Chain A
C-alpha cells in the first residue's frame, strides 16, 4: 500500500516570490512515479509535473521544479516567480506497479499581490 502525506494544509506567498510545498510518501515499490496536480477554484485537476523514481535528476517545468529525495521519500514542489494564477489547491500523488494513483490531502496555496 502507498501513502502520501502533505503536512501543510495551507501556504501563502507574495507575488514574484518562491514557495516550496512539501510532500512525503511511503511505498515498498522500487519502480514508481510521483506527480503534482493543481486544482484551481474551477476544480479542474491539472497535471503540473511528473518525476520518475529511477531518475536522479529533478524534474522541471518552466517555473515549477521538484526536489526529489528518494532515500528520505520526499518530493517537494518549488514554484518560482509566483503568479496570481498559481493560487490553487496542490496535490501530491504517487503511483506504483499494481496500484492506482494515490493522492495526498492537498495544500491550499494563496498568492498575495
Chain B
C-alpha cells in the first residue's frame, strides 16, 4: 500500500535561518507531488507541484523553493525564513488518472513557527 512520510511534525526556527522540510512517498512510482501551506483557520494554498524528477512548478512567488532529487522525494526549502513563512505545511501526492481526475493523498503535516 502507498504511504507518505513527512517530517518533522513541528519546527520552531528563528527569522533568517534556513529551512528544509522533507516528504517521501512509498508504494508508488512517478507520483505527482505537492506542497501546500495552511494558515491558521484557513484553506490550503498550493505552493509547488512536481510531475517528475527535477520538474518543479511554482504557484505563488515567495521566499521558498522546492526540489525533487528523487522520484518519490520532495523537499521544501528556504535560505532565510521570514515571520510570514509560519504556517502548517502539507505534502501531498497523487497518481494522475487523467488531467482532471486527480485524488490527493496528504501527509501528516509540519507546523512551522518562525520567531
Contacts and interface: CB of A to CB of B under 8 A. Distances in A.
A103 B75 CA distance: 22
Interface in B81-115: 88, 90, 92, 99-106, 108-109
A11 interface: no
Interface residues of B, number: 21
Which applies to chain B's interface (DSSP): helix, strand, loop or mixed?
loop
Nearest to B32: A100
A103 B59 CA distance: 14
Nearest to A54: B100
A17 interface: no
Interface string A17-58: 000000000000101110100000011111100101000000
Interface centre among A43, A50, A104, A108 (most CB of B within 10 A): A43
Nearest to B9: A43
Given A91-B43, A91-B44, A103-B44, A47 B88 contact: no
B99 A97 contact: yes
Interface in A64-87: none
A21 to B, nearest CB: 14
Contacts of B59: 100
A98 interface: yes
A100 B101 contact: no
Nearest to B45: A103
Contacts of B41: 106, 108
Contact of B42 (A46, A95, A96, A105): A105
A75 to B, nearest CB: 15
B100 A31 contact: yes
Interface string B42-85: 11101001000000000100000000000000000000000000
Nearest to B44: A103
Nearest to A91: B43
Interface of B: 34, 41-44, 46, 49, 59, 88, 90, 92, 99-106, 108-109
11 contacts: A29-B100, A33-B100, A33-B101, A44-B108, A45-B106, A46-B106, A91-B44, A96-B100, A102-B46, A103-B43, A103-B44
